[in-house]
Amino acid sequence: MRTGLVAKALDDWLRPDIGAPGVEVVSTTRTGGVSTGSFAGFNIGDHVGDSNEAVQANRQMLHAQISSVSTITWLGQVHGTRVIHAPSEYEKGVEADAVWSDEPGFACAIMTADCLPVVLADIEGQCVAAAHCGWRGLAGGILKHTVEAMPVDPSRLVGWLGPAIGPSAFEVGGDVLAAFYLAEDDLAVHSIPGVANKYFLDLNILAGRQLLQLGLDPSHISGGDVCTYSEPQRFYSYRRDGETGRMVTIIHKK
């Protein structure tokens, strides 16, 4: 690391209390950090073209901010539905889009820049999970696979929906609606006036709906109210900027 290359966290990182004792959730923003140019701020993605030196400095600072963690699970996310267990199936860069753990010291992590990060924990704080929920993953059943992998009844899970592209910015075509079997008048769908076969889609409604269908209690689901696209100074957004960095959402047992 170059002398003077020091990353710092700012107070606007999201640290929600999701209602599970002994569980910490942290969702970073782009503020702080040492990345520059298109990646300016706290980029933790090592696959987007940023300087490796800057990414590693940011990741080291992140690690120092997460209490009692020895390993952050850096996955090779591919918009699929594979769920792994840490530590038994984890190695750095393993291709998967969700990870769960029942051991302290392992922080389940998901990188995003518009896709929806969803974290889960049982109400006693014995196991935790993080899932990468872009539209392909949601349509394919990533949340179903994640909930089914966790050794707890779904009614005893709490979930939090992190920062993602909002319902007034996520433009999709009819093919995406078809992937979810959605009608144009669904509450998650908003037609774009004067534009044929184009819609705004609400990923938060879709994810919340799936969690309810999987057995979570409505009172156990929170978040879903922060739009990455609409806050360029605070969040990276692939849809908005193309070349950009990544935030990370982390959950772990303390």
- Give the number of domains in the chain: 1
Q: Which two tokens stand for residue 180?
A: 């979810």
Q: What is the pLDDT of residue 3?
A: 31
Domain CATH code at residue 69: 3.60.140.10
Q: What is the pLDDT of residue 101?
A: 98
pTM (2 d.p.) = 0.94
Domain containing 142 equals 23-165+220-253
Judged by DSSP in three states, 45 sits in coil
Residue 188 lies in a domain: no
Largest CA distance in the chain: 57
Residue 178 lies in a domain: no
Residue 105 lies in a domain: yes
Each residue's pLDDT, cut to its tens digit, for the chain (254 residues) gives 233 444 444 578 999 999 999 999 999 999 989 999 999 999 999 999 999 999 999 999 999 888 788 899 999 999 999 999 999 999 999 999 999 999 999 999 999 999 999 999 999 999 999 999 999 999 999 999 999 999 999 999 999 999 999 999 999 999 999 999 999 999 999 999 889 899 999 999 999 999 999 999 999 999 999 999 999 999 999 999 999 999 999 999 98
CB neighbour class for 183 (10 Å; exposed up to 12, middle 13-18, buried from 19): exposed
Q: What is the DSSP letter of 143?
A: H
Q: What is the pLDDT of residue 10?
A: 55
Residue 37 lies in a domain: yes
Q: What is the pLDDT of residue 18?
A: 96
Residue 155 lies in a domain: yes
Residue 2 lies in a domain: no
Residue 156 lies in a domain: yes
Q: What is the pLDDT of residue 69?
A: 85
Q: What is the DSSP letter of 187?
A: T
Q: What is the pLDDT of residue 6?
A: 42
Residue 93 lies in a domain: yes
Q: What is the pLDDT of residue 9?
A: 46
Element (H, E) at 73: strand 71-73
